[in-house]
A and B are shown apart, each in its own frame.
Chain A
Amino acid sequence: MTTTSVEATGRASDGGAAGGKPAAPGRDARRRRALPGSASRWTAIGFAAPLLAYLAVFYAYPLWRNIELSVHDYTVRAFVQGNPAFAGFEKYTEVFASDSFPTALLNTALFTLVSIAFQYAIGLALAVFFHANFRLSGVLRALFLVPWLLPLIVSSSTWAWMLNSDNGIINSVIESFGGTQINWLTSPDTALIAVITANIWLGIPFNLVILYAGLQQIPDEIYEAASLDGVTARQRFWRITFPLLRPVSAITLLLGFVYTLKVVDVIWIMTTGGPGDSSLTLAVWSYREAFGTGQPDFSPAAAIGNLLIVIALVFGFVHLRMQRGWEKS
């Protein structure tokens, strides 16, 4: 930093000149044209390099590796010896033809859509509620963040324990009101409902925080003007809050969608996708193929993983498209 290059001084004086004299722009433009080939290009590359290296190591390589895994037949032996046979789309065909596929696809759709619908609705209701800024609202809002702060193993195990067929607190409440025992996690009819319920509870804080931040962006003047016009509370929400929150809502739903699509831990800890396949989602299926049994099957697991990436991408593009539409209108 002690040496001063000619370039730098030249440029520094340039900056001053540009501000002071009207004749300067021409000279400035000439110099800017001269720079790219030399130092400034290297500077740009130098600065971009760490980021590019990071992207290559942590994004491009895993993605490439995942695709590579899915188009080869990686048996355990081939995995260790590094000589898998090329399988093309065979593993994908196997996945699509599997009996588990329709179940997993339907469960994934139900799990994702029902989860985010409830998470968003409850999150929005709470955000509007806390926006009123009453006494202790800060403390209460902080309490609502607890599900987010708890390690997933803790919250999922607690849910599994509460929903236990014979000793769970939820069944004991139901039975004390004269109901019959519901086998939440062990019946094929209720296992998916049970994991969705737990996942909704886990996702509310995320929706609450983002939507609450979105609400604070809406100028108070609009509400003031509306109240002068005598709107009802219902109109206030549907005519002002909800439409103005639309961009924030869209991004919340998109992020929620992507997060929920890839949930493994909650379901794995509570039901391992069972009983049978009744709470199996694509993400859990992928995990089960790769790590859930004594015999790792990396290729179909990678194929399912890639399928999930494609689904998430499609919805990402839908989001971009919708956003462009709003910007135009």
Chain B
Amino acid sequence: MKHNRPLARSAAAGLAVVALAAAAACSSGGGDGGGDADTYTWWDPYPQHDENSEWTARVEACGEEAGVTIERTAFDTTALTNQALLAAQEGTSPDIILLDNPAVSTLADTGMLTTVDELGLDVTGVDENLLAAGVVDDKTYGIPVGANTLAIYYNADVLAAAGVDPASITDWDSLTAALAQVTGNGDKGITFAAIGTEEGSFQFLPWFWGAGADLRDLDSPEAQAALELWTGWLESGYAPNSVLTNSQNTTWEEFLTGEFGFAVNGTWQVNSAAEAGFETGVIQIPAQSGGVAPAPTGGEFIIAPVQSDTGRYDVTRQIVECMTTPEGFVETAMTFAYYIPPTAEGQEALLEAKPELEPWVAAVQEAKGRTSDNLGTDYPKISEALWTAVQNALSGAATPAEALQQAQSDAEAAIG
């Protein structure tokens, strides 16, 4: 049939269009996760925990307790913020998100999050320094499910061989002297992550704050001292050049080779450090002239985006409460290789089960939120300028002073 019937043809083509449109309509309808009354949607940044993991089981158990099914989806940390924003714009937000703490104020600023008061949650027991990341204009937009922070791990074998006593490291000078001794003995000094992402800022902040610098004033002499400490280590060969592209995971891999004396890393490596092929220990990051430097807090907040159907909040509250009881915090801490609970009660319960975590509990209590000091949504912009300055200075593209001056003017321009 070379010559077909025009009417039949147009009918067929028309039908195809209708089918296409219907398919499109269906798929957009299917994207609305919050539609089903018995299914609650949950997003978190832990793709390493699959659907058969303990973590998923724990999330599902909280759903069952509230009489609903939880549908969990995991995203990469950076992708999660973008996904949450897109979903809020489309009006298809999930019921619950576990979000990295510096992003909470950004989402809260858009008006897409419910406050703890609206949800009827009690946050009086939560440590103030940890809760601060979720507070914008005196309103609290979530509860930390656990906290972690940075400290310096050391390789006891390497230090012993070089004759370094970790207890002697109390300020920057003694740390640099220890690095000189370790590298003089033929081992590598220290490794950290100075990558051009948020992780780079996260790792630089203990030194930045430890010098007494302020994030509103990136080109202060204190900030310069902190950056010169890092560039000095690279120039003297105390730290490898690859710190410029190292993520915290890569840093840890380097440390696990056993060639390094020290590594800056977080609470989440406690298990891995215990299993390392050499003896490890932990010291707090020292401030410039002695004492403990405030390290930034890491960890996720549990937040509840605004729903058009406010009747869902009651169950959402039950799920959040299930995750934030003292027992809930301890369980989360265990599932996540040591996530320090944000309440005194939770911390006590954790220390009963794991007394060796004492230094980490202390570190978390001393830690400082990145969006604190009323930085809020300005923090991500300042942070970008800061990690760019670190990159420029460590790569030799600019001197620390030039890099920080540039950073300050960039940050001011970005904040407007």
Q: Which residues of A contact B (CB under 8 A)?
A: 1, 3-5, 7-8, 11-12, 15, 39-40, 42-43, 45-47, 49-50, 53, 57, 76-77, 79-82, 99, 160, 164-167, 181, 183, 185-188, 191, 271-278, 291-296
Contacts and interface: CB of A to CB of B under 8 A. Distances in A.
B240 A295 contact: no
A274 B196 contact: yes
B14 A188 contact: no
B302 interface: no
A160 B109 CA distance: 37
A186 B244 CA distance: 6
Contact of B7 (A39, A191, A294): A39
B6 A8 contact: yes
B389 to A, nearest CB: 9
B395 interface: yes
A308 B245 CA distance: 27
Interface in B1-45: 3-14, 16-17, 20-21, 24
In order of increasing CB-CB distance, the 3 nearest A-B pairs are A46-B13, A275-B395, A294-B380
A80 B396 contact: no
Interface stretch (B82-90, B287-295, B324-332): B82-90
A81 B381 CA distance: 21
A187 B5 contact: no
A295 B377 contact: yes
Nearest to B243: A186
Contacts of A276: 388, 391-392, 395, 397-398, 403
Main secondary structure of the interface of B (DSSP, over half): helix
A275 B392 contact: yes
Contacts of B391: 274-276
Contacts of B109: 76-77
A272 B197 contact: yes
B69 interface: no
19 contacts: A3-B5, A5-B6, A8-B6, A15-B3, A39-B10, A42-B6, A42-B10, A43-B13, A46-B9, A46-B14, A57-B24, A80-B85, A181-B241, A186-B394, A187-B395, A293-B198, A294-B102, A294-B106, A295-B106
Contacts of A39: 6-7, 10
Contact of A79 (B24, B89, B394): B89
B388 to A, nearest CB: 6
B89 A82 contact: yes
B240 A165 contact: yes
Contact of A43 (B6, B21, B24, B379): B6
A165 B13 contact: no
Contacts of B176: none
A12 B198 CA distance: 71
A43 B395 CA distance: 64
Contacts of B13: 43, 46-47, 49-50
A188 B395 contact: yes
A43 B9 contact: yes
B64 to A, nearest CB: 32
Nearest to B196: A274
Interface in B86-119: 88-89, 102-103, 106, 109-112
B396 A187 contact: yes
> Which of A7, A49, A80 is the most central at the interface, judged by chain B CB atoms within 10 Å of its CB?
A80
B89 to A, nearest CB: 5
B240 A166 contact: yes
Nearest to A271: B245
Contact of B5 (A8, A272, A295): A8
B88 A80 contact: yes
B315 to A, nearest CB: 24
Given A188-B397, A276-B397, A43 B244 contact: no
A296 B384 CA distance: 12
Contacts of B112: 80
Contacts of B242: 164-167, 186
Given A76-B106, A293-B384, A275 B394 contact: yes
B383 interface: yes
Given A76-B85, A276-B398, A7 B111 contact: no
A314 B397 CA distance: 34
Nearest to A12: B3
Contacts of A183: 241, 244, 395
Nearest to B188: A166
A49 B397 contact: no
Contacts of B392: 188, 275-276
A5 B17 contact: no
Contact of A275 (B3, B244, B410): B244
Contacts of B297: none
B195 interface: yes
Given A80-B111, A295-B377, A295-B380, A4 B5 contact: yes
A95 to B, nearest CB: 13
A275 B111 contact: no
A135 to B, nearest CB: 43
Nearest to B89: A80
B82 A291 contact: yes
A81 B6 contact: no
Given A76-B109, A80-B112, A188-B397, A166 B380 contact: no
Contacts of A47: 9-10, 13
Given A7-B5, A185-B244, A276-B392, 11 more contacts: A40-B6, A50-B13, A53-B17, A53-B21, A79-B89, A186-B394, A274-B196, A276-B398, A292-B78, A294-B103, A295-B381
Contact of A77 (B5, B6, B111, B197): B111
Contacts of A76: 85, 106, 109-110, 377
B347 interface: no
B414 to A, nearest CB: 8
Nearest to A44: B10
B316 interface: no
